[in-house]
Amino acid sequence: MKFIEVKDLKIEFTKIDESGREVPGKVALDGISLDIEKGSFVAIVGMNGSGKSTLAKCFNGLLAPSSGRVIVDGFDTAEEEHIWDVRKRVGMVFQNPDNQIVSSIVEDDVAFGPENLGVEPKEIRRRVDNALKRVGMYELRDKGAHMLSGGQKQRIAIAGAIAMRPECIVFDEPTAMLDPKGRASVMSIIRDLNAEGITCILITHFMNEAEQADRVIVLKKGKVLCDRTPEALFSDRDMIEKAGLEMPPAIEIRDKAGLPEHLTTAEDIADYIKQSRSGRAADNCSN
């Protein structure tokens, strides 16, 4: 079932010329067309300037199309009367959590969104507690947000999105400012949310994160370069080079070791090696 439909989307920013007039500027997205299925986990990747963060902002109406359309669950993001219908359905988590945290106390920050939707206090309490437990931050609910680490702040930002009860969450490079442990924690939360049926769209420049998605959309210069499964994309070195991307470390290890191409993650490779060793051990015993 289609949840988001993007039809010939163009985003063109304006600039001011020497005479002070507003004139056409950079074309950030140029004729993008794609669909996002309900309940899917989609990664969008590309070099800096490819348009991936611009596209992310179009999914919940933060940016309106210069031309073309973005339809979310039947609502056109360009129609102002439906913008809150769109934003109730599509939550956003950004790269820098400090840009999303609006309250000094953790639980107050998570409650901010539902309060603005007019949700009743008892229901807000339930939503806040549930969201904080889902990201492992319930024990810090009464702490000052400024006292948290970067990874903890990002989990609070995710909790704030969860408390809005969206059907889809767009993560715009949520791990870019985190250390490896923080990145792993956020990715675990994203996978769990998707397993619960929430549509997840991940904008990332980490290929080992993209390989965890069901589908990877590659952008280049504001256009869709390719749209494939992780297995198909990371088996095509020519496409990776054309996109200006890097192979995930696990893929590099796989290829150097001559392992099968269907192995795309570190977990897949570890399981394969473990099974191979078990098989060899069993053969030795039988001999």
> Which residue would you say has higher pLDDT here, 19 or 120?
120
**Contact criterion met (CB below 8 Å) for 249 and 208:** yes
228 has pLDDT over 70? yes
Question: CATH says 2-246 is which class?
Answer: alpha beta
280 has pLDDT over 90? no
Looking only at the bridges linking them, the beta strands covering 41-45 and 199-203 are parallel
**Contact criterion met (CB below 8 Å) for 219 and 209:** no
Per-residue pLDDT tens digits for 160-192:
999 999 999 999 999 998 888 889 999 999 999
pTM given for the model = 0.88
Taking the domains of the chain in order of start, what are their residue ranges? 2-246, 248-287
72 has pLDDT over 70? yes
Per-residue pLDDT tens digits for 189-221:
999 999 999 999 999 999 999 999 999 999 999
Question: How many Å apart are CA 93 and CA 108, to the nearest integer?
Answer: 17
Looking only at the bridges linking them, the beta strands covering 75-76 and 67-72 are antiparallel
Predicted confidence at residue 279, as pLDDT, reads 67
Q: Of the candidates 111, 271, 134, 269, which has an alpha carbon nearest to the alpha carbon of residue 195?
A: 134
Of the chain, the percentage scoring pLDDT greater than 90 comes to: 68
Predicted confidence at residue 283, as pLDDT, reads 60
**Contact criterion met (CB below 8 Å) for 15 and 189:** no
Sign of CA dihedral 115, 117, 121, 122: negative
8 has pLDDT over 70? yes
Predicted confidence at residue 111, as pLDDT, reads 95
Paired with 223 in beta bridges are 220
Per-residue pLDDT tens digits for 42-62:
999 999 999 999 999 999 999
Predicted confidence at residue 286, as pLDDT, reads 60
281 has pLDDT over 60? no
264 has pLDDT over 80? no
> Which residue would you say has higher pLDDT here, 33 or 145?
33
Task: Summarize the confidence of residues 102-108 as an average pLDDT.
Answer: 92
Distances (CA, A) of 113 to 117, 133, 182, 203: 6, 17, 24, 22
Summary mean pLDDT of the chain: 91
